[in-house]
Amino acid sequence: MTDNRPPMLEVRDLHKTYESRRTPRPAVDGVSFTVRAGEFFTLLGPSGCGKTTTLRCVAGLETPESGTILIDGMEVYSRDSRTQIPTNRRDISMVFQSYAVWPHMTVSGNVSFPLEAMNTPHAEARKRVMDALEVVGLADFADRPATQLSGGQQQRVAFARAIVKNAKILLLDEPLSNLDAQLREQMRTELHALHKRLGTTTLYVTHDQDEALRLSDRVALMRDGSIIELDTPRALYLSPDKEFTARFIGQGNIWDCAIRELHEGAAVVDSKIGTVIAMAGALTPKSSRLMVRPEHISLQSSRQNLSPNEYHGQIVSSAFSGRTLDYVVVVNDMELRVQSPSVEIRSAGDYVTVVLPPERCVLLLS
């Protein structure tokens, strides 16, 4: 869908090890990805996996050991040609996790700083500052000292400061993680709308999978300094390749399986609960694990005659959480977690028919 847009940011084989560490393990270990113009691209991963380090290398706040970084086709870092363009001459802007709003300036002072650095004429700068504040909904706060702002407002100031200079790439380091749940939800929606409106190429860092899935065009899942899997949110959630991806993004019932037959688009596998028809992809021949998400399993009333991918089961526990019911169902001595909408309520002890939709049975590399 978006693949014909030109690349705006290219990171190739990036390596970075912090020297200060006693046992140097690379913080970023061979990361490569391309962000296309206008794309919202997210680096997702557990704490300490190197997301911030990657972002800081792109910003020029950190010097990698090796690799290449191109912004809009121009080398800003390259080990081979010994290029290292300083941060202030890279066409980027950044929102820090701590916001880094300057406490000794007013709101408009903060937002106009990038324009002053570019020597923008005064009248034009004034207008652009007001426009940026308008976008983030802080137009009435222009003359407030930055210290008299709530966390959410500071976050908006940091945002306005980042968008005011119309940089080619917007770098966002967990900009929502310091907000309370309600505000985070609201800002997430606003961020989405803002990206739709401005269309700025965005590199986003988060450890929150919901945020990543909701906002991004594509997500790179990282672990220990490397990208494990890179795809659209839908593909990562519905048809991940790796067990790590399936476990990190969403929940899953994952168990061992052996492939019996392989057809175009489908595979028949043997596993503890019986024979399962699952989706097949390029990596299927090497797969040894089967994954079904709890909300994709449906429970029906018990019956004698079963079709393929239907199994006899018994509910051993059920937990009511309003919108959904979380069951544990035992099928052939194996426990499956099942999540159903609360339209039909079953209770522990009930015998049920467990239905696994073949297109939601995913084979994984362990």
- Please give the residue ranges that form the binding site for another protein (CB under 8 A): 59-61, 86-89, 92-94, 96, 98, 100, 102-104, 113-114, 117-118, 147, 158, 161-162, 165, 171
How distant, in Å, are the alpha carbons of 150, 294, 311 from that of 315?
A: 48, 14, 13
Q: For Mg ion, which residue has the nearest CB?
A: 52
Q: How far is the CB of 111 from another protein (least distance, A)?
A: 10
Q: At its nearest, how many Å lie between another protein and the CB of residue 109? A: 9
Nearer to another protein, 35 or 157 (CB): 157
Which does residue 88 touch among Mg ion, another protein, ligand ATP, none (CB within 5 to 8 A, set by kind)?
A: another protein
C-alpha distances in Å from residue 37, one per residue of 2, 6, 72, 92, 169: 9, 6, 8, 13, 9
Site residues for ligand ATP, window 20-59 (CB under 6 A)?
Answer: 20-21, 27, 45, 47-53
Q: Is the alpha carbon torsion for 275, 281, 283, 289 positive or negative?
A: negative
Residues numbered 37 to 76 that lie near Mg ion (CB under 5 A) are 52
Please give the Cα distance from 93 to 110 (Å, whole number).
14
155 part of the interface to ligand ATP, by CB under 6 A: no
Nearer residue to another protein within complex by CB, 76 or 336: 76
**Residue 96 CB, nearest approach to Mg ion (Å):** 10
H-type alpha helices, the chain: 51-59, 107-117, 122-135, 151-163, 181-198, 209-215, 233-238, 243-248
CA distances from 102 to 155, 237, 257 (A): 12, 39, 56
User: Of the two residues 52 and 309, which places its CB atom closer to Mg ion in the complex?
Assistant: 52
Partner in contact with 103, chosen from Mg ion, ligand ATP, another protein, none, beta carbon below 5 to 8 Å by kind: another protein
CA distance 196 to 210: 18
Q: Which is nearer to another protein, 51 or 242 (CB)?
A: 51
Closer Cβ to another protein, 88 or 302, answer by number: 88
CB within 8 A of 146, min separation 6: which ones?
101, 102, 103, 104, 105, 106, 107, 109, 110, 154, 157
List of residues contacting ligand ATP (CB under 6 A)? 18, 20-21, 27, 45, 47-53, 207
